[in-house]
Amino acid sequence: MLSHPAAAEQTRVVPSLEDPSLYFSRELSWLAFNDRVLEEALDARTPLMERLKFVAIYGSNLDEFFMIRVAAIKQQIAAQVLRRSDDGRTPAEHLGTISEHLRGSLARQMRLLADDLLPGLEAEGIVIKRVGELDDETQGALERTFDDRVFPVLTPLAVDKGHPFPYISNLSLSLAVELEEVTREGVQLHFARVKIPPTLPRFVPVESAPAGARWFVLLEDLIAHHLDALFPGMEVRETYLFRVTRDADLDLQEDEADDLLEAIESELQRRRFGEPVRIEVERGIPEYMRDLLLEALDLSETDCYEVDGFMALRDLWSLIGQPDYEKLHDAPFAPAIPKRLIGVTDMFAAIRDGDIVLHHPYESFDPVVQFVQQASEDDRVLAIKMTLYRTSGKNSPIVRALLQAAENEKQVAVIIELKARFDEENNIEWARRLERAGVHVVYGFANLKTHAKITQVVRQDEDGIRRYMHVGTGNYNEKSARLYTDLSLFTCRPELGADATQLFNALTGFSKVTDYEELLVAPVTLRRELTALIDRETENARAGRRSGIRAKFNAITDPELVRALYRASQAGVPIDLMVRGMCTLRPGVPGISETIRVRSIVGRFLEHSRMFVFENGGDREVFIGSADLMARNLDRRVELMVPVTDPLVAEALQSQILAVLLADNLKSRELQPDGSYRRLAPAGTDLPVDAQKIFLTQASSL
């Protein structure tokens, strides 16, 4: 007997919002994002070198995933942590699931390189040759290269009773060498390790390549071909490439550190000696050799990944950067200067005329640099305060401007985040240079990262003191501002300036601010205020008022905010989320998240901007900021969200940027209830929409 649909609806059981089935694995969600990066490399519509770039990014991302996320899981396993994550898995179950998922992804990546990208490069004249397939004259030239440039750098390391297994540095390539020695007692087998020197180019040019072509041999192949020079009197039987990944997260006891800078320097030294978390081995490696490596590194079969082809994908960048192959890249573009700022020499006057928003990389980062440079030289400027998370290296124009400001005897205070992962050494160097110049350098709070992106300039204007601000969603890094999509807001609104002063006082002094008038600041108010904004939409929907949430950010993994969004969806709030990476929220679940749509864009530029739009019963509110919806951002970082109160700027953000992103149907994937992502395509009479191309076209017309 068939049941009536209404009856089925009445008997449907809605799970508790704490039910693990409502949450995706954070780790698997991250791997799904990296798979979307790999999909871009699979797309034949993308220029060849850009496809190779996505493969390099895929590999680099995966290295960091193991160094940080997998390392953390293995630490939990070692500590016998049995607590299940929000999705119901134990640490050991997560590790097994990660390993299982990656087997398929890595196989796709290897086939892509071997069957598509490398043959494509060969057709364009860029060829990776094996030493043994070259003619005698060319091999002779390479042998001289080996003798002169490579051999002096190599250090073969034997492994036997008298020679313990050597230390294998993080992400280094090594050759496992099987040697045969004939003695009176008979044939003896030996094992040795030869490190591939990271100080030498991985791709060794072949000078005799035909005209118009570029031939290379891999450094490891060149070394393997001449191993007899390293082991005279021995016969080299087999060589196999392998690579080790180690735990690279810093383990700081900040509460016990008298000097944070010295503590981080010490931890950076220890990072080199982190515990192994992964080994990659060349396919075909003998079982005994594989077992020897696993035992020496205290790794299991789960941690071992066979590679059938190119290893250490990040090294592909040296091929991607080959000159004279512009046709294999995306068409170059020059970031535009908005019409309002063309020819402007006084940024302060422009900001007084009204708030300004910039959309990077389509609009130039130069006005941000100009703002800080002008502040460093302007006689009316009394003080400059800034947070620095990542900069562009030794020639950062932002930091040069801060040094100039200090030389001009302005009061300069800079909060430098020494714990910015993998930028620690760079930030330590800048901290010392700024301190020597007389800048007040602060390292932020113990056990909190300062991730907020804000600059405040205090200026004596003709009508009194005025505070000018720049708030961004990205770092003060003019190089990444050409690669990442981010937003910049310039304003001198007094209420925001007052809050910013309170924030800097809290960062540099003993001020214990518990509330702000306009700014949303983590870890003080951001979680509470974000939850309240979502709950307000929930109440509006229940009361029949206009409601809706549209937002763009990089990740959502915080269970409290996921539950708040679930409650909003249950009340009927339409929710559109653009989430680049990790998303533990499960959309489209009947009775839970039917009104939630989650999309992700992976394209030419890394989507990095964060913005939030709340309908608020028709009185729409717009925010931009530095935070993602993760516990670390809300509870363990100093983050900032700023309301965009200028009506024209707010309208531009929500209708000219966010709406276009949400309409993308070429580079966008939609998250399905089962955790898979479905690539969108124009349907019926729909026009194709590639948001990043639209923004590029708009910028070029300015």
DSSP string, 662-685: HH--SSEEEE-TTS-EEE----TT
Residue 150 CB neighbours (<10 A): 19
Q: Are 396 and 477 in contact (CB under 8 A)?
A: yes
pLDDT along the chain (702 residues), means of 10: 44 82 96 96 95 97 94 90 90 94 95 96 96 95 96 91 85 94 79 94 94 94 95 92 89 45 52 84 94 95 95 95 92 93 96 97 97 97 93 84 95 82 67 86 80 97 97 94 96 97 90 88 96 98 98 97 98 98 97 98 96 97 97 95 97 97 97 96 91 92 66
Kind and range of the H or E run holding 499: helix 494-508
Q: What is the C-alpha separation between 218 and 310, in angstroms, rounded?
A: 10
The one catalytic residue in 226, 360, 451, 608 is 451
* Phi and psi angles of residue 656, each rounded to the nearest 5 degrees, phi first: -100, -15
pLDDT for res 237 = 92
Q: Which sequence spans correspond to the domains of the chain?
A: 16-124, 151-251+279-317, 339-508, 520-700
Question: Encoding tokens for residue 643?
Answer: 């309301």
Q: What is the C-alpha separation between 652 and 358, in angstroms, rounded?
A: 10
What is the DSSP track for 622-677? Answer: EEEES--BSHHHHHSEEEEEEE---HHHHHIIIIIIIHHHHH--SSEEEE-TTS-E
CA atoms within 13 A on the CB side of 369: 16
Angle at 453 between CA 458 and CA 511, to 5 degrees: 65
Pick the CATH number of 520-700 from 3.50.50.60, 3.40.50.880, 3.40.50.10490, 3.30.870.10: 3.30.870.10
Of the candidates 154, 171, 415, the residue with the CA atom closest to the CA atom of residue 271: 171
CATH fold, domain 151-251+279-317, is polyphosphate kinase like (3.30.1840)
Same CATH fold, 520-700 and 339-508?
yes
| Calculated CA dihedral for residues 225, 229, 234, 237, nearest 10 degrees | -10
Amino acid 168 reads I
Pick the CATH number of 16-124 from 2.30.30.140, 1.10.645.10, 3.40.50.2300, 1.20.58.310: 1.20.58.310
Q: Are 356 and 490 in contact (CB under 8 A)?
A: yes
> Considering Cα of 20, then 23, then 25, then 26, what sign does the dihedral take?
negative
Q: What is the C-alpha separation between 504 and 455, in angstroms, rounded?
A: 10
Cis preceding-peptide flag for 523 (omega within 30 of 0)? yes
Crossing angle for the helix pair 260-271 and 424-436, nearest 10 degrees?
A: 150
Question: Which superfamily does CATH assign the domain made up of 339-508 to?
Answer: Endonuclease Chain A (3.30.870.10)
Cα distances (angstroms) measured from residue 656 to each of 32, 488, 622: 29, 15, 13
* Phi and psi angles of residue 547, each rounded to the nearest 5 degrees, phi first: -145, 160
pLDDT for res 702 = 62
H helix runs in 408-493, sequence order = 424-436
pLDDT for res 252 = 46
User: Is 360 marked active-site?
Assistant: no
Question: Encoding tokens for residue 85?
Answer: 């994550």
Partners of 599 in beta bridges? 578, 670
Question: Encoding tokens for residue 202?
Answer: 């991985």
Q: What is the C-alpha separation between 575 and 582, in angstroms, rounded?
A: 17
Q: Are 639 and 633 in contact (CB under 8 A)?
A: yes
Q: How many helices (H) and strands (E) does the chain have?
A: 22, 27
Question: Encoding tokens for residue 412?
Answer: 């300069």
Q: What is the C-alpha separation between 146 and 140, in angstroms, rounded?
A: 10
pLDDT for res 257 = 39
Of the candidates 375, 342, 376, 374, the residue with the CA atom closest to the CA atom of residue 356: 342
pLDDT for res 255 = 44
What is the DSSP track for 309-356? Answer: S---GGGGHHHHT-TT-GGGSPPP--PBPPGGGTT---HHHHHHTS-E
pLDDT for res 258 = 44
Q: Mention every residue, 6+ apart, whose C-beta is less than 8 A from residue 193.
A: 156, 157, 159, 166, 168, 174, 175, 176, 177
